[in-house]
Structure 1
Amino acid sequence: MNTYLLEVAGVKRKLPIIKLNDNLSIASFVILGDTEIVCASAKEIVKKLPQIDVLITAEAKGIPLIFEISRLLNMKKYIVARKSLKPYMDSPLIDEVVSITTQKKQILVLDEHDSEYIKGKRVAIIDDVISTGESIQGIERLVKSAGGTVVAKAAILAEGSAAERDDIIFLEKLPLFE
C-alpha cells in the first residue's frame, strides 16, 4: 500500500493513499481516536485564532478537535452541525453540501437552540481537513442564517488547492494524488 508521510504539530503519521475514483486519490487522514494528533493540533490552531465567542464543526470527524480547542479556550459549549434531522429538533436550519470524502449530497442541520446560541456571536468554523470547502461553506451559510458572524475557518490540514486559499487557517498542506 502506498503511503504519505505527514508531520503536523510535531506529530508524524503514515497516511494510506486511498483511491476515490479513476482520477483522484487522497491520503486518508483520520483523527478519530488519535488523541496525540488532536491535542497537538488543537494547541497550534488556538494560537492562530482571532477572538471568538463560539466554535462550530460538522459531525463527526471534527468533534474531537473542536472539543479540545474549546477546552483550551475555556469555553463552556461548542456547536455540532448534525448530518441528519433528529426528532427533537424544533425549527432547524438545514443546508445541503457535497463532500469530497462522501461524494454524495448530505445535509447539515442546526437545532433551534444552537441557532439561538450563535445569534450575534463571532464564530470559528473548525474541521479536520478542508479540501473543496463545501462543508465549510455549508456551515458558514448556517451560521449566517442563525445570525452569527464567521470570523475564522480553521483546520488541521488544507488539501489540494485549498492550501492556496487565504481565507482559512491551517497547519499543514496535504496533496491530492492522481
Structure 2
Amino acid sequence: MHTYSMDVAGLRRELPICKITDDLYIGAFIMFGDAELTVACARELLKLVPADSYDYMLTAEAKSIPLIHEMARQSGAEKYFIARKGPKAYMPDPLHVVDQSITTAAQQELYLGRDDAELIRGKRILLVDDVISTGGSMHAMESLVDQAGGIIVGRAAVLAEGGAADRKDIVYLEKLPLFNADGTLKG
C-alpha cells in the first residue's frame, strides 16, 4: 500500500492512500485513536478561530467528533453540536438533510434534534470538519444551521483536500493533495 508523508500541526503522519474511484485516490486522514494529533490539531485550529468569534461549534458524525470535543475542551466551551447520521430516540422532531461525501459511496443523511436547533437559533455557529474535499458534508451542515435559524460565522478544517484548498470561505491547517493509483500526486 502506498502512503503519503505529511506534517500536520507540527506532527508527521503517514497517510494510507486509498482508492475512491478507478482514477481517484485520497490520503486517508484519520484522527480516531491518535490523541496526540487530535490535541495538536485542535490547538492549531483554535488559533485560527478565536473563541469570541462564535457561540457554538457544530460538526457531522463521526470522524471529526474527537476534534470538536478537544476544541471545546481547550477553548472552555460548555456545549457543541453533532449532526448525527441517523435520528435517535432522544432527538425530538429532528431537522434533517441529505449529504453526499467523497468518502461515502451512497448519500447519507444528517439529523439535528429540535432541542439543539432551538439553542442554535440566532447564534453564531462555527462549522468544524477533519477534511473538506468536495464540500458535501460542509454544505449539509450549513443547511442544518440555516433550518435552525443559526448564523454561520466560519468553517474550519484540519485539511483541505484537492480543490477545497482554493476556497476562501474556510480556514484549514494544511493542504492534502489527491493521488493517482500509483501513489503519485494528481496533476
Do both proteins adopt the same fold according to a TM-score greater than 0.5, normalized to the shorter chain?
A: yes
- Cα displacement string for residues 102-125 of structure 1 (whole angstroms, at most 9, x for unaligned residues): 121000100011101111100000
Aligned to 2:59: 57
Counterpart of 1:150? Answer: 152
Residues 21-170 of structure 1 mapped to structure 2, 5 A cutoff: 21-50=21-50, 51-170=53-172
Give per-residue Cα distances to partners, 1:34-68, cap 9 Å, x unaligned.
Answer: 11111101111101114110000001111000001
Letter in 1 for 2:164: A
Instruction: Kindly report the root-mean-square deviation, in angstroms, between the aligned alpha carbons of the 2 structures.
Output: 0.8
Determine which of 177, 181, 184 is the counterpart of 1:175.
177
Task: Give the TM-score of the pair, scaled to structure 2.
Answer: 0.93
Q: Which runs of 5+ in 2 are unaligned?
A: 181-187
What displacement does 1:72 show? 1.3
Separation in 1, partners of 2:116, 2:32: 24
Question: Per the alignment, in what secondary structure is the counterpart of residue 68 of structure 2?
Answer: helix
Distance (Å, rounded) in 1 between the aligned partners of 2:83 and 2:146 = 13
CA distance in 2, matches of 1:137, 1:113: 21
Between the aligned partners of 2:57 and 2:72, the Cα distance in structure 1 is 7
Shift of the alpha carbon at 1:87? Answer: 2.5
Distance 1:76 1:82 in 2: 19
Matching residue's letter, 1:55: M
- How many residue pairs get aligned? The number is 178
**Structure 1 stretches (4+) deviating beyond 6 angstroms?**
none
Alignment-mate amino acid for residue 168 of structure 2: D
Q: Which runs of 5+ in 1 are unaligned?
A: none
C-alpha separation between the residues in 2 aligned to 1:122 and 1:166?
19
Match of 2:10 in 1: 10
| SS at 2:4 equivalent | strand
